[in-house]
A and B are shown apart, each in its own frame.
Chain A
Amino acid sequence: MKITDTIRFASRASTGYPTRTLLMLLAMAIGVGSVVLLSTLGDGARRYVINQFSSLGTNLLIVLPGRSETVGGPPPLLGVTPRDLTLDDAMALQRSSAIRYVAPISVGAAPVSAGGRQREVTILGSTPHLYQVRQLTMAQGRFLPEGDSSRASAVCVLGYKTKEELFGKARAIGETVRIGDRRFRIIGVLSKKGQSVGLDIADIVIVPVASAQAIFNTTSLFRIMIEATDRDVIPRAKKTIAAIIKERHDGDDDITIISQDAVLATFDRIFTALTLTVAGIAAISLAVAGILIMNVMLIAVSQRRAEIGLLKALGAPAGQIMALFLAESAILSIIGAALGLFLAALSTSILARIFPVFPLNVPLWSLWAAVGISVATGLIFGVLPARRAARLDPVQSLSRR
């Protein structure tokens, strides 16, 4: 029997029973569609997070107070509270040749008011170098002025949204705002850049770090953001930072340095694992679809007993009958997979319209995996019904009407 005839016979046989064929196609389409769609979503989430971290800046190192890793050795006899990072610590780091910019950061929330409107806004205290480190851009005016960072000058830069909400369309540069019980002159407005890793830089007020410390009445820093001079010197910069801070902290190794690369790699791993997990869960629906195919094919075999008996009487050997039924389940799974891919493409494009920020690209591996698994499922679950068909006794199959 020719292969084209096998395919034609099998497709005619499946169109001969439209309801069961449609149900099978639907099950397969849902299975394949959900694998592709969920892996697309997982991959999109991964890329979204990585984009967010990349937008933080390049060659970035973050210094946090306290040690988050255990080094081993005996536990300390007394509980040790980590020493705070101070502005002087941050300034001392500028000595290193591996470091280009140092931006100490002090964060808190405070009521900000202007012209009778008041809002609770995140106050970010830093130095002019934050501008380079976070790759900020200005809409109007200028960023914090260079100068002695320990001086608490009364100037501030507003985030885009904060400016809109306090001043509307009116000009804000040169006006003053009240933060807590202090007055600040507005010298600049940030451009609309959007979200940046949990911190909405549109809804923010940036003040000199000393001013922020005065508002919150503290001498400690939330963290220090550092830009290394080059990607290659990041390890050296890390060592230098550790050495400088250790020296300043009486020999205690009580800071944590995170490099952006490490964070990115971690997130990449987490989200890849997440994507695979979700895709794996969706693959269960493919297995369910496979079992449905088996079930429906078994019904088809018993419905078509007389036909199978006839094919045997006409001289079809068992192998040929098996091939016919396997071809039928393979065709159904391939068409079902194609429908599923179409379904996934459709819902991806709809989602991409609803959430334009979210990067949605169907990962290529998921296409191959989904189609491969569905065809394999169709064939594996098609074997049992096909064998049953091939083993039918022709005399008994033909004896019934």
Chain B
Amino acid sequence: MISLRKIRREFQVGEERVYALRDVDLVINSGEYISIMGPSGSGKSTLLNIIGLLDRPDSGSYLLEGEAMTGLGDSQQAELRRHKIGFVFQFFHLVPRMSASENIELPMMLAGLDLSERKKRVNVALESFGLTNRAKHRPDQLSGGQRQRVAIARATVMQPHILLADEPTGNLDRVSGQEVIDILENLNSQHITLIVVTHDPELGKRARRQINMIDGQIDSDK
């Protein structure tokens, strides 16, 4: 369960202070499927980054599965990102010099898992995302849809509880985008909390719970 209370985040842009988030309150139960929509600069990505522990709020409290996140140090937050949170990005962010299977292996390598366990999980992931015959290909030899599938495999290989996707279809054509959505929704049906940030209203409407943000505040939550 994610519980945000009075989350505030400000940025200094030149002379001006920009409020990315103004006292946001939000409770997300585990297994939910949520889309966050809103115009550019409405704070939806900042909200996602704070939930994903990549960014820290200036004030407010954040409880993840009952534990307070705001006071944690860098290495403790890294540990939680490693085990509980998976990220999917618009630009995939695959490491260009590594093959698909090495990219999927990366989080397990960082976590220090045994080689045999890593190989096993990589094979399972390649299988279930239909990438088995692409295992040795480098990202530049893969299509956009395949790249995003590698990225999702990487995000889920540590079996996180929460999957955060920032414009996951923003860089894909309709067909590949649909494929990626299907995969993400399928993961959600296996009880992973799925939070998708998007501009695309069609994608946003698919979520069971839709949050609309304007000027750093939640405008509607239905």
Instruction: List A residues at the B interface (Cβ < 8 Å).
Output: 1-2, 5, 9, 12-13, 15-16, 306-307, 309-320, 394-395, 398, 401
Contacts and interface: CB of A to CB of B under 8 A. Distances in A.
Contact of A320 (B83, B91, B107, B110): B110
Given A314-B81, A315-B79, A398-B54, 9 more contacts: A13-B97, A310-B93, A313-B54, A313-B93, A314-B82, A314-B110, A316-B78, A395-B54, A395-B55
5 contacts: A1-B112, A307-B95, A314-B82, A315-B79, A398-B93
B111 interface: yes
B150 to A, nearest CB: 13
B33 interface: no
A12 B98 contact: yes
A318 B77 CA distance: 11
Interface in B76-98: 78-83, 87, 89, 91, 93, 95-98
B199 to A, nearest CB: 15
B106 interface: yes
Contact of B109 (A5, A13, A310, A319): A5
Contacts of A2: 109, 112
B79 A306 contact: no
Top 7 closest A-B pairs, CB basis?
Answer: A315-B82, A16-B97, A317-B78, A317-B75, A315-B81, A314-B107, A310-B93
A306 B52 CA distance: 17
Interface residues of B, number: 28
B49 interface: yes
A306 B55 CA distance: 16
B74 interface: yes
A322 to B, nearest CB: 11
A338 B102 CA distance: 29
A74 B158 CA distance: 92
A1 B80 CA distance: 15
Nearest to B157: A314
A15 B96 CA distance: 12
A312 B111 CA distance: 12
A315 B83 contact: yes
B81 A313 contact: yes
Contacts of B83: 315
A394 B82 CA distance: 14
Given A394-B54, A398-B89, A398-B93, A315 B98 contact: no
A16 B99 CA distance: 12
Nearest to A401: B91
Nearest to B52: A313
Nearest to B84: A315
B74 A318 contact: yes
A1 B111 contact: yes
Nearest to B113: A2
Contact of A309 (B82, B93, B107, B109): B93
A312 B109 contact: no
Given A13-B97, A394-B54, A395-B54, A315 B91 contact: no
B93 A316 contact: no
Given A306-B93, A310-B93, A398-B93, A315 B78 contact: yes
A271 B55 CA distance: 62
A319 B75 contact: yes
Contacts of A401: 91
Nearest to A318: B74
Contacts of A317: 74-75, 78-79
Q: Most chain-B Cβ atoms within 10 A of its Cβ — which of A13, A306, A313?
A: A313
A9 B91 CA distance: 22
A286 B91 CA distance: 41
B97 to A, nearest CB: 4
Contact of A1 (B79, B95, B110): B110
Contacts of B109: 1-2, 5, 9
A2 B97 CA distance: 20
Nearest to B98: A12
Contacts of A314: 81-82, 87, 106-107, 110, 154
Contacts of B110: 1, 311, 314-316, 320
A41 B80 CA distance: 58
